[in-house]
Structure 1
Amino acid sequence: MQEDAPPSKREMHWPTVLWYIYLHALGLWGLWLLIFEAKWLTVIFAAVITLTATLGITLGAHRLWAHSSYTASWPLRLFLMLAHTLAGVGNIYDWVLAHRIHHKFYKTNIDPYNHDKGFLYSHVFSNVMTSNPEMEKHVRDIDMRDVDLDGFVYLQRRFYWIIMPIFGLLLPINAPVEYWGESVMNSIFILGFLRFALTVNVSWLINSANLIWGLKPGQKYPPDENSIFLVRKSYWPHYHYMLPWDYKSGEFGTYDRGCSTTILVIWETLGIASGLKTATSEDIRNALARAAIGGVKMEDCLRDVLKSAEEEALKKQLAFKH
């Protein structure tokens, strides 16, 4: 976490506010149509498209491009770029930049999703407000060279407003109408408004999930509150902010389990993903001991943990090739 700065005024961007109000209202109508009027093929197709778009955000923009948790083959990177385009949450480059700023300036006034301001601010208000006036200055502190060199990220960013309307909107909406006779209205509201309302919230949750699934400092597990019946809280979301590159960290409060992590392990087995980075318990214990006993900065200790994880991932990668 970086040193804090004086708070800068952010104002509501009312066109964005109105867009998301309409999107969620029409998405609710799309949900009603999905349950009571849509054909079963449309329900299945909507689920598949939404899951694919979610993978584009979680395994693509978040774990691959924002945190470099693993290495993906070019066909997989192409798939994840197109999957992210299906989500309709903007281009990968801008998403990664905002998320890296969130991590670098975590819980400061520079952090666009500042958790100290509560869930509503982090999840909703921060996404419908103007940027921090000081943001341009701090963007220069973010190393984006690895993302700049990715051809698929460049392609999507350069042609986003051509690729997204065609591949992310027109084709998914047209498919149910063309191939199994779904009504145009059902397809627009389900594959359009409802899908985008869901994927937008998935994207927002990655930056606000800690406030739902994370335990507060000093809080016992399980917490003495009714939410234990709805969500499983733990300290794993806090772990993600210490070692964001660990591929096992689920976006929504889990560790070493969950749909996205399982799919990533399957991709590794298939040979289209490699170099999965993770930290061992021994590495973490050694880092904490060095910081507590040796007086070494925790940042330096965690950097050594990353180096160890990269070496281990490289060994696995070479062993798999042979």
Structure 2
Amino acid sequence: MQKETKTKAIHSVSLSELFQSFEKSLGFKNKIKWQLSIIIFLYHVIAVFWCYKYAIPAKWQTIVFAYVMYIYGGAGVVIGAHRLWTHKTFKVKLPLQILLLTAFASAGQNSVKQWVLDHRVHHKCSDTDGDPHNSSRGLFFSHIGWLMMKKNDQVLMHGKQIDISDITEDPVLHFFDKYFTHFKLLFCFILPFYINVYLLGETWQCAIAWQWFIRFLTLFHSELTVNSLAHAYGYRPYNKDIVPTENIVVSALTLTEGGHNFHHAFPFDYRSAEQVKFYNLAAIFINVFEKIGWAYDLRKATPTMINSMAQRLGDGSLRRTPVTNPELEKEK
């Protein structure tokens, strides 16, 4: 019996060493989460096969519903996890908090606690070895590779120094995180499937194609472009000395998270961009909720603050208009 146990232990160690040796041969700095990596790979493979076979023909209602869910889930990530819970750029009343939590759950990402922790570490150690999705390690790593690998020592060390007590001590967020897996399954997969099939009359195969694969993966990868494309391509009109850029493509995909150079220069600004233009849906939504009283204490940088930084540190890619009207300083 002891001999059999010892043999199993040897095989286990050998297999572990084999994987570690393979990882090193490929040049990976972090240990790979093999189980999760395989799941992610297979999910994409199945998605391609399933969508090729069942996505077309689809009812127009199915396509519209998938787009609505895309916007809804994106709002949960951009307005909720990012601008509200991570950066505290505005405050909300309970109805809007619940709405944003269900929207965030529909995106199918990590828990609020993990999302906020990762993003606060990202801002503290942006584009260094302490950054969870360090862009200096390449597009693949900053886009999705970081999710498939274990965090390095510097990321873990800085993570322990980040205060997320505002998240853990909030009773609503605590309850949501406690049952996050259930909420994610319900709002990301079960309810969209049920609505698509039983209310919109779509076939179950087509509903899976559009909700579980097309809508979910499109939103998933769109949000990840903020970590990858918006740290690689674009211009830096506010601070040329940092890596994040202004990327219009990322803005179009993510309700204006592509104003990333501005965001890293002024992370407290609820707009995450200098202007609230037609494609800054997140800021428009926040403004609407402010008018009905569900959002309040919106924070933003003043024109003088923005111009001052842009003129001192910007790359000159945007023409600046000096602010001479002191009334502009009174903007919220």
TM-score under structure 1 length normalisation: 0.75
User: Could you give the per-residue CA deviations for residues 110-169 of structure 1, whole angstroms, max 9, x where no partner exists?
Assistant: 111112223222112112111113433322211112222322321221011222222332
- 1:13 maps to 33
> Is the 2:55–2:206 Cα contact (8 Å) retained in structure 1?
no
- 2:320 maps to none
Amino acid at match of 1:86: S
Greater shift in the superposed pair: 176-185 or 74-83:
176-185
Q: What's the CA shift for 1:242? A: 2.2
Q: Does 1:239 align with 2:276?
A: no
- 2:161 maps to 141
Amino acid at match of 2:298: L
Amino acid at match of 2:263: H
**CA RMSD after TM alignment:** 3.2
Q: Distance in 1 between matches of 2:174 and 2:150?
A: 25
Q: Secondary structure at the match of 2:83?
A: helix
Q: Does 1:198 align with 2:218?
A: yes
Q: Distance in 2 between matches of 1:162 and 1:229?
A: 33
Amino acid at match of 2:219: T
Q: What's the CA shift for 1:194? A: 2.0
Amino acid at match of 1:272: W
Change (3 A) 1:228 1:76: closer
User: Could you give the per-residue CA deviations for residues 170-214 of structure 1, whole angstroms, max 9, x where no partner exists?
Assistant: 121122221233111111222112222122213322323423553
Counterparts of 1:3-82 in structure 2 under 5 Å? 9-29=29-49, 32=52, 36-82=56-102
Counterparts of 1:107-256 in structure 2 under 5 Å? 107-211=127-231, 214-215=234-235, 217=240, 236-250=259-273, 255-256=275-276
Q: 1:276 aligns with which of 294, 298, 311?
A: 298
Q: Does 1:261 align with 2:280?
A: no
Amino acid at match of 1:278: K
Q: Distance in 2 between matches of 1:92 and 1:34?
A: 33
Amino acid at match of 2:269: D
Identical aligned pairs, as a percentage?
27
Change (3 A) 1:153 1:228: closer
Considering Cα pairs closer than 8 Å and 6+ residues apart, tell me whether 1 or 2 has the greater RCO. Answer: 1
Structure showing greater Rg: 2
Q: What's the CA shift for 1:259? A: 1.6
Amino acid at match of 2:289: W
Q: Distance in 2 between matches of 1:88 and 1:230?
A: 20
Change (3 A) 1:35 1:178: closer
Q: What's the CA shift for 1:89? A: 0.6
Q: Secondary structure at the match of 1:140?
A: helix
Q: Distance in 2 between matches of 1:27 and 1:193?
A: 6
Q: Distance in 1 between matches of 2:116 and 2:152?
A: 17
> Is the 2:121–2:159 Cα contact (8 Å) retained in structure 1?
yes
Amino acid at match of 1:248: R
- 1:5 maps to none
Q: Distance in 2 between matches of 1:228 and 1:95?
A: 24
Amino acid at match of 2:140: L
Q: Distance in 2 between matches of 1:83 and 1:180?
A: 20
Q: Figure out how many residues of one structure are paired with residues of the other and give that number.
A: 276
Q: What's the CA shift for 1:10? A: 0.8
TM-score under structure 2 length normalisation: 0.73
Change (3 A) 1:205 1:286: closer
Amino acid at match of 1:121: F
Change (3 A) 1:229 1:182: closer
Change (3 A) 1:159 1:35: closer
> Is the 2:90–2:297 Cα contact (8 Å) retained in structure 1?
yes
Q: What's the CA shift for 1:276? A: 1.1
Unaligned runs of 5+ in 2: 1-27, 253-257, 314-328
Amino acid at match of 1:276: L
Q: What's the CA shift for 1:27? A: 3.4
Amino acid at match of 1:269: K
Q: Distance in 2 between matches of 1:231 and 1:165?
A: 28
Amino acid at match of 1:247: Y
Q: Distance in 2 between matches of 1:282 and 1:95?
A: 32
Amino acid at match of 1:132: N
- 2:4 maps to none
